[in-house]
Structure formats: C-alpha cells, structure tokens
Structure 1
Amino acid sequence: MNIQLPKEVKIILDMLYKNGYEGYVVGGCVRDSIMGRVPNDWDICTGAEPNVMLDIFSQFKVIPTGLKHGTVTVLIDKKAFEVTTYRIDKDYLDGRHLREVEFTNDLKEDLKRRDFTINAMAYNEKEGLIDYNNGLSDIYNKIIKCVGNPTIRFNEDYLRMLRAVRFSTQLDYELDMETFEAIRNSAKNILKISKERIRDEISKILLAQNPSKGFILLESTGLLQYIIPELKKCVNFDQKNPHHDKDVFYHIMAVLDNTESDLVLRLSALLHDIAKPECFSVDDRNIGHFYGHHMEGMELAGKILKRLRYDNKTIKAVKMLIREHMLRHEVVTPRAMKRLINRVGRENIDKLFKLQRADVKGGKTPCDFSNINKAKKISEKILNEKHPLTVKDLDINGHDLMKIGARQGKEIGIILNKLLNMILDNPDLNRKDILISKAKNMLKLRS
C-alpha cells in the first residue's frame, strides 16, 4: 500500500530516521488516505522522547504543545504537524483527562491505547502499513470497533462513546456489536463530559450526509436520553394526524435528512417539532393536534441549545426559524413577506423556506410546495429590489431624531420602529424629509 505523504511530513520522518529514531504517520490521516479521503491533519508518532525532538527539529519553530504527554508541534512553511512520542496511557482521572503517561519505544503499545481500530494504523514509506489491530479489515467491512475491550476504552474516555456514533454517521459504517453493547451499558457516563465537547460531536453528526443515522444510533445506544432528553420524548409519539405517517421522532429524522448541510438549518430541523409532545391534544374525531407547538418549540429549543453551549447568534437564528416554520399555511402577500424577512433576517429567509420544504417532505405525500414557492418568489423580488426592511435601512437615524427633540434611549427605538412599519407598507415614504415630518408629529402627540 502506498500513501502519498506531504513533503513536510517526509522531512519530519527523514530527520527522525537520520537521528536514529523511527517515525510514522498515524491515526485519522492513515484511515482517510486508505479511504480515498483528503486528511485534515497529518499526525506523526515516534520513539523519540519530547526533549530529544526539541533538539532534532531545532532548525524549525517547535512549540512544546504537551511535553507531559509527549507532544510537540513542528512548524514547516507555516504548516503545523503534531509529533508525539509512543506512549502507554497509565491512568485517567475522570473518564476524560489523562493523569499519567509512560513513554515507550514500542509502536505496538502505542497503537494499542487508541480508540478505534480504523484509527490505530501507522504508515511510513520504509515499512508500509502497520496494522496490529485489523483496522484495514474493519475499513473494508465498514465497521466501527474499539481497540481491545470496548468497556475499558470507554471508561478511559467517555467521549469515545459519542465519537463512535459520530464516526459511524460520517463514514456510514456500522457499530461492532460489542462496541454497541458497551455504549449501552456506559451511556449514563456521558453526563460527566463537558457540554462543549458534546456540542462539538453533535454538530459533526448534524453536518454528516445522513444525520438521522447518528440520532437513531444515539437513541438506540441510550445516549440520547442524557444528551437531549426532550428529543427522546418524541420517540414512538403517535401524531394521530392524517398529514403524518410517522411518529414525531421519525418525522424529525426525515426532515433532518431533507435539509442541506448547514448547522443552523440542521439544528432547526432537529428541534422544529421538539415541543409536539408538550402541545398534543386530540379532538372529538380522535385526530391529533399540536396547537402552538412552534411557539413552545422556539423556547424549548433555546433552552436546549443554551444547555449545549451553542453561541447566541446560532440560538437566535434557530429559535426564529422554528417560530416561523408553520407560516407556510398562511396567506402570502408582499406586506407579510416584508415583515417575515424583517423578523427572520435576510441571511436566514432562504433557510426558512428550505426548512418548510423539508417539513412538507417529512409528512405524507403528495407534497404541496405551492405556498412556499410563492413566498420565496415574492421574497426574492423584495430583496432584489432592495426594499427597506430594517431600521438600518431607514433614511433617518437616532441622531436625526435627537436633533428634533427625541429623548435618547427607548423613545428613539419606538419612533424608528413606527417609521419602519410605515415604510414596510410604502417604501416610497423612505425619504429623510418625509420621515422627519412623521417623527415630529409623533413627538407632538407625545407631549
């Protein structure tokens, strides 16, 4: 097997060998190269200890990234490469952080400590592929399998449970049965992992080609109830509605897979119906309804995303898309579309239409996109013609209002929003002289 190595990696490996030490590329870059994917990073392992590496690579800039754990970062032509000493992980403090490592000169021992077989292969041009754990076979068979005892691997680092699901989703591989059962038995320990790390893995699952696979796995392994218990409530929840042929959970999964790989859009799809179990009612014909679930869902989604430490901008956008996703049933007019763009934002209006289309696809066929298509067409016309849609688009600002006697602060905001409401209905009024006149009349009424 021949892996094409970057010239910088070859320089690092050659320098190690010239100084009497072996070196290999290791982990994800080997896996990706075998699979025909472009590696994001090239990690290197070696028998040389950190202090020795500082000498070997002294002609380059070397950052002592983690000397305690055997890692230095070598910069060549402004590109960073992590080089780590072979090691044995001696003890984990809390299912996440290493307390102690022991350096070794045995590559086999180093590969034995790694998480999954497909990530436990090494390669160099002198010896070719080193695969003590049958990672190559698992790539060919499309299996995610722990190195050694899966329970031990997960007890060392609980995040590995979520990583197993993520790799399975991204690569479209199946979980090895022992690995699957070990996750089921240890699932509750995911609560000991920081929300930020969980968030990052969830985001990667969401951005995979078929994100539903990841969330179905999270549910079947038992992880979902500890990460997003609100979504667990949607599993097997019968909608009792003629427009739906799936329970709430599998409807959400269908919507998720029908959206493109955009984090805000995928988060909105994941949480758009999250409040349905809370808003469920049945009429006298035994038909289920979810009145107000978009409003309840907006608030519940905000709490979930805040708990998972998503940033405020993302949370705000997701909440707004969820709030507006049912508007596809409303009468579409230019006036309504201007107000919708104002609420959602120019940058998110197309995402709303995509969410609505995915929502329709997730129900029973045939799909009727006529109202969505009409809304999109009107919105595009409004945007192309550059209609004023926000306070910032007004031909007047707070300083102008202060000059005619408006009080600084809340009053300025109230007047600007009243002016905007007029402009949304009649963009021709967006002239400074007209707006000043209207503002003066508002101030007169105030006094």
Structure 2
Amino acid sequence: MKISLPEKVKFIIDEIYDEGYEAFIVGGCVRDSIIGVKPHDYDITTNAKPDDIKRIFNEFKIIDNGIKHGTVGVIIEKEVYEITTYRIEDEYEKNRRPKNVEFTSDIVKDLKRRDFTINAIAYNDRVGIVDKFNGLDDIESKIVKTVGNPDERFSEDGLRIIRAIRFSSKLGFRIEDKTLHSIYRNAEIIKNISRERITDEITKIVMSNSPMKFILLIEADILKNIGVYKYKNKDIDEIEKKISILKKCDCDVAQRLAMLEYILSFNEINNCNKEERSKYYVKNIMNMNLVNSLVYPKKVVHEVDKLIEYMYKDIDCDNLQIKYILGEIGSKLLKKVLKLKKCIIIIV
C-alpha cells in the first residue's frame, strides 16, 4: 500500500534516515490516509532520541517543551511537525498518565502501547505499512478495538473510554464487543479525568457525522459518573429514537448542544404545563445540564442556556412578543431558536 506523503513530512523522514535512523508517520494520519480522508496533521515517530532530532534539525527552530516525553517540535515554514521517539510506558497514575516513559528502538513496542488498533499503524515509503495489531483489518471491517486487553488500555488512560465512542461517531465504525463491554465495566474510571479533556471529546461526538453515538455515554453511565444529569434508564429507548435529529441541526456547537439537552430533558419537562416548561427548566435543570457541568466558554454556555429556555417557550408571530424576545436575546439567537423549533416538530 502506498500513502502519499506531504513534501515536508517526506523531507523530515528522509533527513532522519540519512543520519542512520528510521522514522514513520503514525496514528490518526495513517488511519485517515487509508480511509481516504486528508489528515489535518502528521505525527512522526522515530528511533532517534530527542537530542539526535535537535541535532539533525539544528538549522530549524525547535520546540522542546515536550522533550520529557520524547517529543520535539520542528518548525518548517511556520508549520510545526512533532517528532517523538519510540517509547514504552511505565505504570499509569490515576488512570491518566504514565509515571515514567522509557525510550525503545523497536517500532512494534511503540505501537503496542497505543489505544486502538486503527491508530496503531505506521508507514513510510521505504518500509511501507507496519501493522502488527491488525489495524488494517479493523479499518476494513469498520471496527474500533483496543490494542490488547481493553481493561488494561482503559485503566491506563480513562479518557480512552470516551475516545472509543468518539472514533465510532467520527468514522461510523462499530465498537468491538469486548471493547464495548469493557467500557461498561470501567465507566467509573472517567471520574479521574479532567473536565477539560472530557469536554473536548464529548464536543467532537456531538459535532460528528454520527452524533447518535452519544447514546453510549448514557447507556454506559459515563454521564452519571461525571455528575452530569441523572438520566433514567427507562428514557434511553425514547432518547435513542430522537437523537438522530442532531444531524439535521446546523454544524454549530451551541445549536447541537441545545437540541441534545432538549431531547434529554424532554420527558421530565413534558409533565409540566406548557406555560411553565421554560421556567421549570431554568429553575430545576439548567444548572446541572451538560454545558454547565462541563468546561465550555461562557459565551457558549450563555447561548445554549438561552436557546433551550426559548425552545421551551411558545413563540407567536405577535409583534410585541417578537420585539420583547429580540430585546432579550437578539436576532441571531432568535433565528437559531426558530431553526431548532422547526427540527423539534419532527421529534415531538
């Protein structure tokens, strides 16, 4: 299999080989290239030590704040290329990071420590594909599966639990059964992960081409374990039927989060009189919803909360009411509210 490498990436790999070492692109850029998606960036891995990389590329500006973990950034024509020495990792602390990192000269040992088989593939033009964990087969079968024992991979870094769901949503892949069962078993590990990292992964799921995979975060009690909303299992089937509506929303984080929250809170709000729904939501639910429980910019939090508040209100084409709403939230948010209300008709 031949992967077309950008000229600068090829230059870096050739320079490292010319000095007697080896280097490969690795991880997501290989996976995406195989699938036919243009990578956003390229991670490069090598048996050269960080000091060797600094020496080889001494004519370029170097970023070495990641050198402790074996990563050196080389800036070529204002673009940063991260080059990381093959490594194996010691015991992990608090399901987040390894206590120590040890360098190795074996690319296979480096690939073995990675999260999922589809991300444990390396490539260069000289050797071709290095795939010791059947990542190519899993890409072809559209499966997300951990490298080795899933319980071990998730205990090393609890964020991988959500990353599995994120890759499933991004790529439209199925999570392999053993990996999925391990997610259910180990969901509590997510309590040890920072809200910032969790927020980033959940946002990517919501904004993906398959946002319906969000349902797995509920089914596996992941939301419950990070203290976001106490969703009841009896609502899951209904939520799953409705959640596909997210695909009909604009690819706008506030709109998608607002629609998601509307779907998740609908059953509880539906018990109120129509006139009381918006007030009930603001008073009893808003402060523990997804956007307020995770780490979003204040602007996004404000926008989402206002969108949901007005999604639960009846809006008539009354000039006086429209003027009032415009004074409250402005024309931009009102347009978003009306778009979302149009989508709501499909699911109510």
Classify the TM-score, shorter chain: over 0.9
Gaps of at least 5 residues in structure 1 are 239-245, 282-287, 364-447
Match of 2:308 in 1: 322
What per-residue deviation string (whole Å, max 9, x for no partner) do you get for residues 362-385 of structure 1? 12xxxxxxxxxxxxxxxxxxxxxx
The match for 2:281 among 284, 291, 297 is 297
The 3-state SS of whatever aligns with 1:21 is coil
- Counterparts of 2:282 and 2:246, CA distance in 1: 17
- Does the Cα contact within 8 Å between 1:207 and 1:263 map onto a contact in 2? yes
The 3-state SS of whatever aligns with 2:102 is strand
Shift of 1:215: 1.6
The match for 1:331 among 312, 316, 324 is 316
- Counterparts of 2:183 and 2:244, CA distance in 1: 25
- Counterparts of 2:263 and 2:274, CA distance in 1: 9
- Does the Cα contact within 8 Å between 1:21 and 1:48 map onto a contact in 2? yes
- Does the Cα contact within 8 Å between 1:273 and 1:297 map onto a contact in 2? no
The 3-state SS of whatever aligns with 2:99 is strand
- Counterparts of 1:332 and 1:173, CA distance in 2: 44
- Does the Cα contact within 8 Å between 1:166 and 1:201 map onto a contact in 2? yes
Match of 1:139 in 2: 139
The one-letter amino acid of 1:331's match is D
The match for 1:354 among 335, 339, 346 is 339
- Counterparts of 2:303 and 2:64, CA distance in 1: 40
Runs of 4+ in structure 1 displaced over 6 angstroms?
none
Shift of 1:273: 4.9
The one-letter amino acid of 1:318's match is V
- Counterparts of 1:39 and 1:146, CA distance in 2: 21
The 3-state SS of whatever aligns with 1:166 is helix
What per-residue deviation string (whole Å, max 9, x for no partner) do you get for residues 108-164 of structure 1? 000000000000000000111111111011011000000011110001000000000
Whether 2:64 is the aligned partner of 1:64: answer yes
Q: 1:290 to 1:346 in 2, by over 3 A?
A: closer
The 3-state SS of whatever aligns with 2:148 is coil
- Counterparts of 1:117 and 1:273, CA distance in 2: 34
Whether 2:292 is the aligned partner of 1:306: answer yes
Q: 1:279 to 1:347 in 2, by over 3 A?
A: closer
Shift of 1:91: 1.9
Q: Give percent identity, aligned residues only.
A: 39
Larger mean Cα displacement after TM superposition, 59-68 or 139-148: 59-68
- Counterparts of 1:110 and 1:250, CA distance in 2: 38
- Give matches, 1:248-259, under 5 Å: 249-250=239-240, 252-259=242-249
Q: 1:254 to 1:25 in 2, by over 3 A?
A: closer
The one-letter amino acid of 1:203's match is T
Match of 2:162 in 1: 162
- Does the Cα contact within 8 Å between 2:277 and 2:312 map onto a contact in 1? no
Q: CA RMSD in A?
A: 2.0
Match of 1:265 in 2: 255
Match of 1:171 in 2: 171
Shift of 1:9: 0.5
Shift of 1:29: 0.3
- Give matches, 1:63-212, under 5 Å: 63-212=63-212
- Give the number of equivalent residue pairs: 346
The one-letter amino acid of 2:231's match is K
The 3-state SS of whatever aligns with 1:340 is helix
The one-letter amino acid of 2:113's match is R
Q: 1:111 to 1:90 in 2, by over 3 A?
A: same
Shift of 1:98: 1.9
What per-residue deviation string (whole Å, max 9, x for no partner) do you get for residues 264-289 of structure 1? 001100112554455464xxxxxx86
What per-residue deviation string (whole Å, max 9, x for no partner) do you get for residues 380-412 of structure 1? xxxxxxxxxxxxxxxxxxxxxxxxxxxxxxxxx
- Counterparts of 1:275 and 1:146, CA distance in 2: 33
- Does the Cα contact within 8 Å between 2:269 and 2:281 map onto a contact in 1? no
The 3-state SS of whatever aligns with 2:345 is helix
- Does the Cα contact within 8 Å between 1:231 and 1:274 map onto a contact in 2? no
Q: Highest Rg: 1 or 2?
A: 1
- Does the Cα contact within 8 Å between 2:162 and 2:201 map onto a contact in 1? yes
What per-residue deviation string (whole Å, max 9, x for no partner) do you get for residues 66-121 of structure 1? 11111000110111110000000112111102210110000000000000000000
- Does the Cα contact within 8 Å between 2:63 and 2:72 map onto a contact in 1? yes
- Does the Cα contact within 8 Å between 1:279 and 1:291 map onto a contact in 2? no
Shift of 1:357: 1.0
Match of 2:220 in 1: 221
The 3-state SS of whatever aligns with 1:147 is coil
The one-letter amino acid of 2:323's match is K
Q: 1:45 to 1:222 in 2, by over 3 A?
A: same
Match of 1:2 in 2: 2
